[in-house]
Structures are given as C-alpha cells and as structure tokens.
Chain A
C-alpha cells in the first residue's frame, strides 16, 4: 500500500477534503510527516489478513449479538434534550432560534 508516496498535490487534495487551509510553509512539513507516518504504517503489509473480519467496535469481539455490537441498545424513544436557548446562547452567531452563517450559495 505504501510504495505510493504522498505528493504535495495529495496534501492539498486531502486538506481540501478535510476543510483545512494550509499555509505554503505547512504543506511541505505535512507532506514529510505524512510520508514518515505512512512509511511506519506500511508494516501492516507484512501480515496476511485474508479472511480476518474487520473490527469496528470492542463489543463485537465479546460474543454478543452482532447487530447491537454485543451490548443492547436503548429503546428509541423521545426524551428531553439540552435546552435550545442554552445552546444558541453559546453559538458564535445566532438569532436565538437558528445558527447564522455566511452565504451558502453564490448567485
């Protein structure tokens, strides 16, 4: 998987996907670090994992019901949540009912 070195273009593409804006100084540093870390991660290729199920949650490994990751889920019922006014009060910009943001669609 890792003969593929990360190029500056890759860094820019991933930064865009992640909604990160990198400065021209940050880009080469991130490229160097990503290559170093991915180089270390390449060790995983030494292992044959054919037929090994991927593990997403700990409960899966403990012999529980697969659909609930081994632990039962709570009943899906409506219950009170955090007060809306309290949430809006700590937002960067709000009209009290909604979060306000800059223009979404350019015309």
Chain B
C-alpha cells in the first residue's frame, strides 16, 4: 500500500491482521523522510530511538493479540513549539538552539499513551509567529503540492509532513490561523479545537489567551480520532476545561440533514480569489443537497479582527517571551559583563526580525500612556467580535467560509510587508479571538492545481457538530 493511503483505521487493521508491523511502518516513513524531506525541510529533528521503542511495544501487543489502542502504530510528527522529553525544542528560533526539554507536553504524552509512534519535531515559524513558515531560523518549509509556494504558517512543517506522507498525523498550534491556513495551503485537514479543549502544558507560549493545540491529518475521521485522544482536562493547564469530551468519531456518522449552516457575508468580500469563492460556493451547494439549511449571517466586526489580534497577540507575546533571557535554557551570549548586557545580547542574537517586531509592538501597546488607547480598546473590540459569533450561533449550528483569501502564495512574495502578511489571516483570526472551534477541510483546487480549503466553524465546545459537517463536505467530494 502506498504511504498516502495509510489512515489510522488502516494502520490498526493491518497491525491486528499482521500484514505490517509498527516497526516496518515507522521505517517506511523514516525512509520517505530521508529521501524527500531534504527539499521540503519539514522535520527539524527525528526521535528515532523513542519511535522505534514505541513501535516495538505496539508490535508486542499485536503479536499477543491484545486489543490495540486508538492510535496504535500511527506515525506522528510534533510541531517544534511543543516539548518532547529528550528531543530538541527550538520553536524555530536560534534562542532555543540546543535546548533539550526535560518533560513532555500533555498532548505528546496522550498521543504516545494511545499508541502513536512519535517520529520527531516539525519546522515552524519562529515562536509560531508567521503565515508562511519563512520566519523559521532553520529555513523555510516548501509546499509539497507546489515547491515554489509556501506551505502556510506558522504550523507549515506540520501541514507539509502530512501532505508529503512523512506522517499519518501531526500536531500543530493555532494562535491566529496557524493550523487552518497551512492545512488549506497543503490540502490536508487541520483542526483548531475550542479554547480550553486541549491542554497547552508543554507548549512554548506565544499568546496565552489565544494559543491552541490541534491535529493535522489527511481525512476528517483521522482528525476526529486524534482530537478524541488529546482533548480533555489537564491539571497542569488551568485553562483546560472540565467539560466532558464528546464522542467525535461517533458523531461523524450522524446525518447533517436539518443542520443550520451560516454563511458569514463579511467573509466573501473584496480580495477573495474567484476560484476560492467558487470552491466554497460548491461546498454550500453540496450541503444544501444534503438538506442542510443554508442561512446568510452577519459578523459585523470582522474587519476589526486583524487590528485587535495584532494588539492582543503581541502584547501577550512581549510578556511571554521575556523568559528567553539566557538564564535558564538555550542560547546565552558570550562575554557579557553584566546581567542586563547578557539579557540584551542574548535576545539580540537569538530572536529573528519578526519576533523582535512583535515584541516591540507588544511592549509599545502596553507601555505607559498607550495601554488604554491600544490594549484596553482591543480587548473591548474582542468582546464585540465574540458577541458577533455568540449571536450568530443563536440562529445557526455551524458557519462555513473560506479559510484564506487566496491559495498558497510564492516564497518571498509577502516577506517585505508585515501588514500584507498579517492580512493573510483575515478569515481566521476572528475565530481565534472568540475562542470557538474551527477547521479547514480540502474542498478542491485551483486551475493551477493549488489546494483550496473550506473553513467550518463551530460553537464553543461544538467540535462534534463541526466535524460532522466537515465529514459531509469530504464525503460529497468522494
């Protein structure tokens, strides 16, 4: 079987039937990485020893005929902002070069406990700040579907690895669109769970009121399966919710007939690529054919989402990133006579331009005299944006919209203009600010063969319904 055909279900059945071992499947993925990832640049580090030990454990279970856990033998990659004990965690930054975290992120622990084979760490924009993966200190990732294009960001490596068949699933993180946008650019499924649904313990923080962890896979059912494993309360993350986790996989088979699908008018305005628009409209037609009720809705504050995001996210980042000072982990600049000089030199050498830009902006909006004008104002508009969604969800069960205004753009196309790059997230940041769940599902391609994703957004903790609609969208294309 070709690597691209492997799914989570296929892996479990093949292991149970003895037609492949977890060891063989891991080796096949490692060979593919060895041959193909030189050009894609998705993996920053491989955790071969750990992966092969886990594969051997799974093979022992299978040999005994014991029941196999949900992700038995499934090769998975981890975005390099999440910690894996004993593997480097760079966050795509020079400031963490050489850092080997002494603990696992909760999502990593949960994946491994469910039988997943952790292949290694995946490239990303530095501290998850970027929309193209061009901000990684370890070089950009190329889009496996079109090598002259970016894979999106910041979880570019996570999306590319799944698209290139280097892994069956991966974990990414999303602060303003960093799972949904790369999923859409690379033609894979990417899920942003509700804020509080998945533990962030072991996630190197960027903007704590926004950061979330979620899966990339090649189909909706695999996404539901991985989410099921990583969701749930964690005592190590005070923001994780105690709400019970629904059965996401079971939800996929429920009919979508009668579900109310909202179409936010503000997501179809100027700047939307005609081929992306047409693809999303075809999705709406297919949902209508499946007897969903399609309703136009308004989210009137949408245009303010980017400015709100760039105040709140940078303010939080300026605070979170103050911990990188050369004292406890990673890089320390040599030859500093005083502590203050050591902080400044370490941070100057260690941070890239985009991270410095955001730290400066965040420090500026929080500084004396500007706090009320910028930070408090942005928090107030965040309330208005969230109320838009809460009120829309009185009338509809899910929202369907584009993920991005355009398909994957070319490397270097937007690197000179930060505002242009930030506007890339125009359809994704509002869901991030409101804390609702969202996902990108492949829904077609452009005439040039570039993947197009459609965004399905669900209510807070409404993952089951969101995944059900995504599954229907996927099925309508099969």
Residues of A in contact with B (beta carbons under 8 Å apart): 1, 6, 10-11, 14-15, 17-23, 26, 29-30, 33-34, 36-38, 40-45, 47, 49, 52-59, 61-62, 69, 71-74, 79, 82-83, 86-87, 89-93, 99, 101-104, 106
Question: Is there a chain A Cβ closer than 8 Å to B345's Cβ?
Answer: yes
5 extra interface residue pairs, beta carbon distance < 8 Å, beyond A74-B238, A91-B329, A102-B339: A26-B353, A40-B310, A55-B380, A90-B100, A92-B330
Cα of A25 to Cα of B331 in the assembled complex, Å: 23
Is the pair B332, A92 in contact by a Cβ cutoff of 8 Å?
yes
Is the pair B344, A86 in contact by a Cβ cutoff of 8 Å?
no
Is the pair A43, B303 in contact by a Cβ cutoff of 8 Å?
yes
Question: Is there a chain A Cβ closer than 8 Å to B338's Cβ?
Answer: yes
Is the pair B345, A49 in contact by a Cβ cutoff of 8 Å?
no
Q: Which residue of B lies closest to A50 (CB)?
A: B380
From B151-159, B165-173, B286-294, B381-389, give the one contacting chain A.
B381-389
Is the pair B327, A55 in contact by a Cβ cutoff of 8 Å?
no
Q: Which of A41, A49, A53, A58 contacts B374 (CB 8 A)?
A: A41
Q: Which residue of A lies closest to B364 (CB)?
A: A14
Q: Is the interface of B mostly helix, strand, loop or mixed?
A: helix
Is the pair A90, B101 in contact by a Cβ cutoff of 8 Å?
yes
Which B residues touch A44, using CB under 8 A?
304, 307-308, 311, 377-378, 381
Within 8 A of A (CB), among B222-249: 235, 238-242
Q: What is the total number of residues of chain B having a CB less than 8 Å from a CB of chain A?
A: 76
Cα of A34 to Cα of B329 in the assembled complex, Å: 29
Q: Which of B239, B311, B331 contacts A57 (CB 8 A)?
A: B239
Cα of A86 to Cα of B103 in the assembled complex, Å: 9
Cα of A15 to Cα of B347 in the assembled complex, Å: 11
Q: Which residue of B lies closest to A42 (CB)?
A: B307
Is the pair A17, B329 in contact by a Cβ cutoff of 8 Å?
no
Is the pair A1, B374 in contact by a Cβ cutoff of 8 Å?
yes
Question: Is there a chain A Cβ closer than 8 Å to B360's Cβ?
Answer: yes
Q: A55-B379, A92-B327 are in contact. Are A18 and B435 (CB under 8 A)?
A: no
17 contacts between A and B (CB under 8 A): A1-B370, A1-B373, A14-B360, A18-B318, A22-B348, A36-B417, A36-B419, A37-B418, A41-B378, A42-B307, A44-B378, A44-B381, A55-B382, A57-B239, A89-B102, A90-B99, A90-B329
Q: Which residue of B lies closest to A39 (CB)?
A: B419
Within 8 A of A (CB), among B399-431: 417-419, 422
Is the pair A71, B241 in contact by a Cβ cutoff of 8 Å?
yes
Which B residues touch A34, using CB under 8 A?
357, 360-361, 364
Closest 4 CB pairs of A and B: A58-B435, A54-B379, A86-B102, A1-B373
Which B residues touch A23, using CB under 8 A?
348
Is the pair B331, A92 in contact by a Cβ cutoff of 8 Å?
yes
Which A residues touch B298, using CB under 8 A?
none
Question: Is there a chain A Cβ closer than 8 Å to B254's Cβ?
Answer: no
Cα of A40 to Cα of B308 in the assembled complex, Å: 10
Question: Is there a chain A Cβ closer than 8 Å to B337's Cβ?
Answer: yes
Cα of A88 to Cα of B291 in the assembled complex, Å: 60
Which B residues touch A101, using CB under 8 A?
327, 339, 342
Query: In the complex, what's the smallest C-beta–C-beta distance from B32 to chain A, in angstroms?
Result: 31
Q: A1-B370, A18-B359, A49-B377 are in contact. Are A40 and B329 (CB under 8 A)?
A: no
Q: Which of A41, A91, A92, A104 contacts B310 (CB 8 A)?
A: A41
Which B residues touch A82, using CB under 8 A?
102-103
Q: Which residue of A lies closest to B355 (CB)?
A: A20
Is the pair B342, A53 in contact by a Cβ cutoff of 8 Å?
no
Question: Is there a chain A Cβ closer than 8 Å to B367's Cβ?
Answer: yes
Cα of A90 to Cα of B100 in the assembled complex, Å: 6
Q: Which of B347, B380, B386 contacts A49 (CB 8 A)?
A: B380
Which B residues touch A61, using CB under 8 A?
383, 386-387, 390, 434-435
Which B residues touch A42, using CB under 8 A?
307
Is the pair B242, A72 in contact by a Cβ cutoff of 8 Å?
yes
* Max chain A Cβ within 10 angstroms of own Cβ: one of B239, B342, B364: B364
